[in-house]
Amino acid sequence: MFEKLTSFFNIAPVQFLFTALAIYLLGILIISLINRQVKSLRRRHSARKVTFYTTVLAILVFSVVFWLESVRSVAVVISIVGAGLVVALQEVILCFAGWLLIIIKRPFTVGDRIEIGSVKGDVIDVRMFQTALLEVGNWVGAEQSTGRVVHIPNSSVFKERVFNYTKGFKFIWNEIKITVTFESNWQKAKEIILRHANPEIDKLKTKVQASIKKMAQEYMIHYEKFTPIVYVNISDYGIELSLRYLTEVRERRSTQDRISGIILEDFAREEDIQFAYPTYRIVK
């Protein structure tokens, strides 16, 4: 009985399965320890990913070494099958190559807000074949979360343009457009708008300057002016005042709400400032 059990464990496939299982269980144990010991969400997520990929790589290397002698004996068959697999699994291979690009070149990382193709969102996970985004925008205004998780194949980094909102410079330019009538005192309206926009950038001034300085070390970029500005334009039905100001990526709606509310209150107190809007006249 003992001799049969010994011969059973000496069979190559069984040895391979038990060794691969041991490596896999060790990876699971390490991930369990990471979940209990690491408090930082970002560090915990990164450590889990490194452990998972290291475990998979160890199993793959062990498989190649273990079966190397057998692979040599069927090299011709494998070359034919391999050529067919390359064609059949072209998208899978491209997704894996995209994952390597994301890991090495880091066009985006977990936590970044990106737009890739027609999808926009916050990166919540980067896997070997897919990247998961928590979608923003779409039917929700001012790029707020929709609550949907979107899975994008990593091959998209080769096929689509990738916009990163937060890498390097974590601020965006936002605009609020207000149109007053031709009879309104548009100069006063412009002053009111700037008066309420300036405090917003004053709160961020130190952060913006530090971010621009850091960004200039990596990219050929330079901002000479980042204070709010109001552009004046003559439209079909009034004078359009466009406020352009810097805001943090995830604060776009809150700052726009805050500035718009104060401007509305001030305009309501001014008799010589009136909002303009398209009108129609029906002539019989």
Q: Does 192 share its domain with 265?
A: yes
HSE of 182 in the Cβ direction (CA atoms, 13 Å)?
6
Specify if 238 maps to a domain.
yes
Domain end (from 88, 121, 143): 88
CATH number at 156 reads 2.30.30.60
Taking Cα atoms as reference points, which of 225, 263, 240, 248 lies closest to residue 142?
A: 248
Task: Return d(Cα 131, Cα 112) in angstroms, integer.
Answer: 12
Q: Does 211 share its domain with 236?
A: yes
- Residue 113: domain span: 107-164
**pLDDT, position 72:** 54
**pLDDT, position 178:** 92
Extended beta strands in 137-263, E state: 145-153, 162-164, 171-180, 229-234, 239-248
Task: Return d(Cα 109, Cα 124) in angstroms, integer.
Answer: 9
**pLDDT, position 2:** 45
Specify if 113 maps to a domain.
yes
Task: Check: CB of residue 139 under 8 Å from CB of residue 120.
Answer: no
Q: Tell me the residue type at 83.
A: A
Which tokens go with 245? 């100001």
Domain count, the chain: 3
Q: Does 150 share its domain with 178?
A: no
Q: Does 6 share its domain with 82?
A: yes
Domain end (from 164, 191, 206): 164
CATH number at 242 reads 3.30.70.100
Cα end-to-end distance, the chain, whole Å: 108
How many other β-carbons are positioned within 10 Å of the β-carbon of residue 18? 10
Q: Does 254 share its domain with 184?
A: yes
Q: Does 177 share its domain with 233?
A: yes
How many other β-carbons are positioned within 10 Å of the β-carbon of residue 113? 22
Domain end (from 54, 88, 122): 88
Task: Return d(Cα 131, Cα 141) in angstroms, integer.
Answer: 24
* Per-residue pLDDT tens listing for the chain (284 residues): 445 444 444 445 667 677 778 888 888 888 888 888 887 777 777 777 778 878 888 877 777 666 665 555 555 555 655 666 666 667 888 888 899 999 888 889 888 898 998 888 899 888 888 999 999 887 877 678 888 999 999 989 898 889 888 877 788 888 999 999 999 999 999 999 998 888 877 788 778 777 777 777 677 666 667 788 999 999 888 999 999 988 888 888 888 898 999 999 999 888 889 998 877 667 66
Specify if 12 maps to a domain.
yes
